[in-house]
């Protein structure tokens, strides 16, 4: 697949049907998210913001992921980000490469593999107060080896819909290894 232009971050933008409606994220950033998600071994939710670009075909490029911040509120069923911390990360990312706040990641230590009404309400509040058409939510849960292999599912949240979307790496391959993928793919053996 040929790169036919660069995003403002200098990431090759590869057109193709595999890319539309997907989250494109590097292994490096996805590993950072997994590592931060492991704090949920203590039984409480955690999360952070996702920075990058929302493309007109409905796909997202994620260039950076933030952590919860020192003032985040965490409980087994609730997470609220440290907004000041998030804004500092977002401003820095924008100044570096124009990356915007496009979504959040967070964990559900006890399930379910779906966004809660509270999640949706907070994401739709962001939509009302931003230029985003769609908010990206990446949800992580323990995998077969608990938080050593968290499973990730991405959702595109609009004012009226919630749609699961694929997570793929920069080369267009699905990040199925190390627990990444939708729950439908859980039977697939991790690649090493
Ligand atoms: Zn949630």
Range of the domain at 150: 15-182
pLDDT 10s digits, 138-171: 999 999 889 998 999 999 999 999 999 999 988 7
* Cβ pair 192, 178 in contact under 8 A: no
Residue 24 reports pLDDT greater than 90: yes
Residues 67-85 have pLDDT tens digits of 999 999 999 999 999 999 9
| Residue closest to 58 by CA, chosen among 103, 97, 19, 94 | 19
CA-based torsion, 81, 82, 85, 90: positive or negative: positive
pLDDT beyond 50 at 181: no
Residue 3 lies in a domain: no
pLDDT higher than 70, residue 60: yes
Asked if residue 187 belongs to a domain, the reply is no
In a domain, 130, yes or no: yes
How sure is the predictor about 50, in pLDDT bands with cuts at 50, 70 and 90?
Answer: very high
Is residue 176 included in any domain, yes or no? yes
Q: Would strands 60-65 and 78-80 be described as parallel, antiparallel, or unpaired? A: unpaired
| 170 alpha carbon – ligand 1 mean position (Å) | 27
The stretches of the chain forming alpha helices (DSSP H) are 27-37, 83-97, 117-128
CA of 108 from ligand 1 middle (Å) equals 6
Query: Does some domain include residue 143?
Result: yes
- For residue 15, the model assigns a pLDDT of 43
Enter the pTM of the model: 0.81
In the chain, the number of structural domains is 1
**How close is the Cα of 95 to the center of ligand 1, in Å?**
30
Question: Does some domain include residue 152?
Answer: yes
Across 4-8, 26-30, 54-58, 108-112, least confident range: 4-8
Ligand 1 centroid vs 139 CA: distance in angstroms? 7
- Token duo for residue 189: 């053996």
Mean pLDDT of 83-112: 94
Q: Is residue 189 part of a domain?
A: no
- Looking up residue 75, the CATH number of its domain turns out to be 3.40.140.10
The confidence score (pLDDT) of residue 20 equals 61
Task: Work out the pLDDT band at 184, boundaries 50, 70, 90.
Answer: very low
Give 45 Cα–ligand 1 centroid separation in angstroms: 8
- For residue 25, the CA-to-ligand 1 centroid distance in Å is 21
Give CA–CA dist 136/126, Å, rounded: 11
Structure tokens at 114: 């779906």
CA of 6 to the centre of ligand 1 (A): 33
CA of 140 to the centre of ligand 1 (A): 9
Query: Is 1 inside a domain boundary?
Result: no
Q: Separation of 129 CA from ligand 1 center, angstroms?
A: 20
């Amino acid at each position: 697949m040929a790169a036919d232009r660069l995003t403002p971050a200098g990431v090759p933008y590869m057109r193709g049907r595999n890319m539309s409606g997907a989250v494109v994220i590097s292994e490096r950033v996805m590993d950072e998210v997994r590592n931060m998600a492991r704090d949920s071994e203590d039984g409480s939710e955690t999360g952070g913001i996702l920075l990058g670009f929302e493309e007109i075909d409905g796909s997202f490029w994620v260039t950076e992921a933030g952590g919860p911040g020192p003032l985040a509120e965490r409980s087994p069923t609730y997470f609220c980000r440290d907004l000041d911390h998030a804004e500092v990360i977002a401003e820095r990312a924008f100044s570096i490469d124009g990356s915007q706040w496009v979504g959040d990641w967070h964990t559900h230590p006890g399930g379910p593999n779906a966004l809660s009404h509270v999640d949706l309400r907070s994401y739709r509040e962001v939509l009302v107060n931003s230029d985003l058409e769609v908010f990206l939510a990446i949800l992580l849960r323990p995998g077969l080896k608990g938080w050593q292999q968290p499973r990730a599912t991405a959702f595109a949240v609009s004012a009226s819909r919630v749609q699961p979307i694929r997570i793929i790496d920069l080369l267009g391959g699905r990040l199925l290894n190390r627990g990444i993928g939708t729950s439908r793919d859980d039977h697939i053996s991790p690649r090493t």
